Amino acid sequence: MDDFAIYLQGVTKRFGALTAVENMDLGIGHGEFFSLLGPSGCGKTTTLRMIAGFEEPTEGAIFLDGVDVAKLPPFRRNVNTVFQNYALFPHLNVEKNVAFGLKRKKLPKDEIERRVTDALRMVELEDRRRYKPSQLSGGMQQRVALARALVNLPSVLLLDEPLGALDLKLRRQMQLELKHIHRDVGITFIYVTHDQEEALTMSDRIAVMNAGRVEQVGAPEDLYEHPRTRFVAGFIGISNFIEGRVQRHGNMGLVSFGDGQRVFVPLPPEGSLGDYVELAVRPEKIRLHEMGEEVPEGYCLLRGTVRDVVYLGMTTQYKIDVPALSRQFTVLEQNVEVASDQTLWVPGERTQLAWHPSHNRVLPTGGSPSAQEEDAA
């Protein structure tokens, strides 16, 4: 654990009967941009507050640079937090807001001056040092809040939904700026968000949390292409879920839905033959074929009726009723040649859904056909 900037070992936090964080094991590397991603109430803020020292774990230990910090109060930890509601002092100008903490620590004047200037340079606000918060845009105010944390030269910066208050356009811009700042300062960032797109855009690695537990940790493309649980498959992007019993079909596993409809499970199947399996396939991996059209041998095939067509510019999103599964599938097609020979499907049309079996992601089900429905569609 010495190799990690932060290491959480079996960390559990209970508030009375409620378990906010359950048995969390997590190692975050030096200089990593690491995100905690999950729905409201899953324990993200609680986890950050324990790292910062505002909250004590009920069980387990937290190590910063290999040192157990259980006994260290917040101000002794080399960690700084930027909260969602960054309260700047309205009556103080930018540089005084940034200098505030250093003045309270009674640092020498010239050191304060130097560190404030450095921090303002990092967030590119040197030319606004005499402005009051009310004279700045939302994104600039957010950058002042960031400078106020960076000025303390923390080895770890904790960011709790810091862009939550900004509109979408500014948010996107600040996401890129934050990434640049992270690269420039080279410190560890732990970033909390419930927005999967934001986490995918910014992070080196992401921990996906659900109801106090970490479901999966991985790089963005890893989580998207290889989700290991139904929750992750549904929370990161959109997934179509398929369940059924596996039969042997040559050297493949096969789930058959009658009338030639089939889903191949690539070997080695994680479920054994005769077992119930659950798998996920992404909307952009599926192609739509005319009813009479031959679908390549060895491809997965289902049939359905187009219900909804949403033209999205670059792509068209289809919602398709698949009677064999009593479920609606989402399919995304690139609008490659809409203007010429490619015609959009229209609601009511029957269609064949086909995809290569390598796109199927077998999920662990706990072996129960009554596994909870959590469809993201």
Ligand X SMILES: Nc1ncnc2c1ncn2[C@@H]1O[C@H](COP(=O)(O)OP(=O)(O)OP(=O)(O)O)[C@@H](O)[C@H]1O
Q: Which is nearer to ligand X, 46 or 216 (CB)?
A: 46
Residue with tokens 């009658």: 258
Tell me if 17 contacts ligand X by CB under 6 A: no
Task: Please give the residue whose beta carbon sits closest to Mg ion in the complex.
Answer: 45
Tell me if 162 contacts ligand X by CB under 6 A: no
Q: Which stretch binds ligand X (CB under 6 A): 25-33, 39-47, 239-247, 321-329?
A: 39-47
Q: Which stretch binds ligand X (CB under 6 A): 38-46, 93-101, 254-262, 304-312?
A: 38-46
Distance CA 155, CA 306 (A): 53
Q: Which is nearer to ligand X, 38 or 357 (CB)?
A: 38
Distance CA 359, CA 19 (A): 36
Return the number of other C-beta atoms located less than 10 Å from residue 251's C-beta.
7
Residue with tokens 């917040």: 74
237 binds, among ligand X, Mg ion, none (CB under 5 to 8 A by kind): none
Cross-strand pairs, 281: 240
Q: Which stretch binds ligand X (CB under 6 A): 14-22, 25-33, 307-315, 357-365?
A: 14-22
Q: Which is nearer to ligand X, 6 or 263 (CB)?
A: 6
Inter-residue contact 224 to 236 (CB < 8 Å): yes
Tell me if 15 contacts ligand X by CB under 6 A: yes
* Footprint of Mg ion on 52-111 (CB under 5 A): none
The distance of closest approach from Cβ of residue 210 to ligand X in the complex, given in angstroms and rounded to an integer, is 10
Inter-residue contact 126 to 73 (CB < 8 Å): no
Sign of CA dihedral 61, 62, 64, 70: negative
What phi and psi, each to the nearest 5 degrees, are found at residue 357?
Answer: -60, -20
Distance CA 178, CA 182 (A): 6
Tell me if 42 contacts ligand X by CB under 6 A: yes
Q: Which stretch binds ligand X (CB under 6 A): 42-50, 125-133, 136-144, 145-153?
A: 42-50
Tell me if 43 contacts ligand X by CB under 6 A: yes
Cα–Cα distances in Å, from 373 out to 138, 227, 234, 247, 265? 40, 16, 10, 24, 21
Query: Binding residue for Mg ion (CB under 5 A) from 8, 22, 26, 45?
Result: 45
Inter-residue contact 257 to 266 (CB < 8 Å): no
Query: Binding residue for ligand X (CB under 6 A) from 3, 10, 25, 41?
Result: 41
The distance of closest approach from Cβ of residue 213 to ligand X in the complex, given in angstroms and rounded to an integer, is 12
The distance of closest approach from Cβ of residue 364 to ligand X in the complex, given in angstroms and rounded to an integer, is 24
Distance CA 324, CA 303 (A): 8
Query: Binding residue for ligand X (CB under 6 A) from 5, 6, 8, 20?
Result: 20
Q: Which is nearer to Mg ion, 86 or 264 (CB)?
A: 86
42 binds, among Mg ion, ligand X, none (CB under 5 to 8 A by kind): ligand X
Q: Which stretch binds ligand X (CB under 6 A): 35-43, 140-148, 249-257, 309-317?
A: 35-43
* Footprint of ligand X on 189-228 (CB under 6 A): 194
The distance of closest approach from Cβ of residue 85 to Mg ion in the complex, given in angstroms and rounded to an integer, is 11
Binding footprint of Mg ion, residue count (CB under 5 A): 1
| Site residues (vs ligand X, CB under 6 A) | 15, 18, 20, 38, 40-46, 194
| Site residues (vs Mg ion, CB under 5 A) | 45
